Structure 1
């Protein structure tokens, strides 16, 4: 299949449709509740701290940066919003990892895939908790090793103008890794192999992650972004990644 960005957007839209199906709705409930609680908390913190961050990076004094404040304010607002969303994604997915894995399994079954024995049972969910948390911690390490240098750019004059755009591109890629892990992890694919498969469909993957970012910015719909992304990533896996070898 072609490495088509439009396909990446389509996978998320199909995921959004899938989570409303009668056979899948009950598996969305716990990820949805976690989503709402974590998102509400982080947005509250972000709003309360935004002016302090603006004063720190773009001081309202007589320096030359102060004259750019009015121009760069929207860019920094977007950057803070993206940082909140990606921080929220890491935290929410860490908490909801076993339930997101279960949702991915049920979506794959709905799509005609095969599940492991005992899949979907409480016993299986409990067995999956430690592997799921380990996988989330591996993704957090991957995220931090790349996010910290990007965040440092926000503190460097001139370079901080391009930092939000670099952050946006990295965030789209990271979200494809974050949510692609659930269906691929259900098939015992390690992070290294998941990463290689996504690299073979990089434009599709980044479009998928970018569309997740946009969905997270839409009021009300942002609460279903996580389960929709899990379902969409499962469609992505079944139709594009499953048949793609891990060799780079």
Structure 2
């Protein structure tokens, strides 16, 4: 599938996410987001608690002594790095549990914005979970080099930036997967499509990553990202020209 190049504009991608936040409270979508939000509240609350008690010590441990004079600059970067790693882990678990609900949420969103009246058909749970596990494995493999860099003195200075870029790409792949799977696109096709609109994909994933670090807001970010990703995928398709 060819991508509509207008979707490569960062403003289009970011706008879709904020529109997803706006639509999340609409009556037709409410029943599709209750369970995912409850899952996120529990898991992200645990992540915040762990982060509050442990991340500061980890940051101080991994900043080399000869760079301590740059703490005012490096501390926020390393906080972002380890915070992203922690939330990335909890995001995988939360999305694995909520995956069956996100597919339906995406289908309902598409029905609303296109005016479709086709009944929503739930795919087999095993298929949904397998797709989520396959994405998680892809993310885990890609994260290994970043983990190695994060533990190498000197090189770990650039690790936070690399983690943020990786997080943005991962979030774009994660949440656009639901509308793309509903459209019958395989994971390899999903990656290929997003690579054609890298600026848009990184922009969408970046704003999602940033929103996930905001307390309380992060409880609803994932379902809002599913809705926003569905809007974004609708922009990607050539019929929108």
Check if 1:32 corresponds to 2:37: yes
Check if 1:214 corresponds to 2:210: yes
**Structure 1 unmatched ranges of 5 or more:** none
Q: Deviations over 1:92-143 (max 9, x none)?
A: 11110000111001101111265765x25xxx3xx43111111111111110
Asked whether the 8 Å contact 1:180–1:230 carries over to 2, the reply is: yes
- CA distance in 2: counterparts of 1:34 and 1:79, whole angstroms: 24
Q: Report the TM-score, using the length of structure 1 for normalisation.
A: 0.88
Calculate the aligned-residue CA RMSD, in Å: 1.9
- CA distance in 1: counterparts of 2:90 and 2:194, whole angstroms: 22
Q: Which residue of 2 aligns with 1:84?
A: 86
Q: How many residues align?
A: 235
Asked whether the 8 Å contact 1:12–1:228 carries over to 2, the reply is: yes
- CA distance in 1: counterparts of 2:150 and 2:117, whole angstroms: 45
After the TM superposition, which residues 24-103 of structure 1 pair with which residues of structure 2 at under 5 Å, given as runs? 24-58=29-63, 63-103=65-105
After the TM superposition, which residues 13-28 of structure 1 pair with which residues of structure 2 at under 5 Å, given as runs? 13-28=18-33
- Name whichever of 173-182 and 140-149 sits farther off: 140-149
Give 3-state SS (helix, strand or coil) of 1:146's partner: helix
- CA distance in 2: counterparts of 1:135 and 1:225, whole angstroms: 21
Q: Aligned to 2:11, which of 3, 6, 9?
A: 6
- CA distance in 2: counterparts of 1:129 and 1:19, whole angstroms: 24
Shift of residue 87, structure 1, vs aligned partner: 1.6
Give 3-state SS (helix, strand or coil) of 2:87's partner: helix
- CA distance in 1: counterparts of 2:230 and 2:117, whole angstroms: 13
- CA distance in 2: counterparts of 1:25 and 1:200, whole angstroms: 33
After the TM superposition, which residues 96-175 of structure 1 pair with which residues of structure 2 at under 5 Å, given as runs? 96-112=98-114, 114=116, 119=120, 124=122, 127-175=123-171
Which gives a bigger RCO, structure 1 or 2 (Cα 8 Å, sep 6+)?
2
Q: Report the TM-score, using the length of structure 2 for normalisation.
A: 0.90
- CA distance in 1: counterparts of 2:234 and 2:80, whole angstroms: 33
Q: Which residue of 2 aligns with 1:193?
A: 189
Relative to its length, the structure with more helix (as a share) is: 2
Asked whether the 8 Å contact 2:56–2:79 carries over to 1, the reply is: no
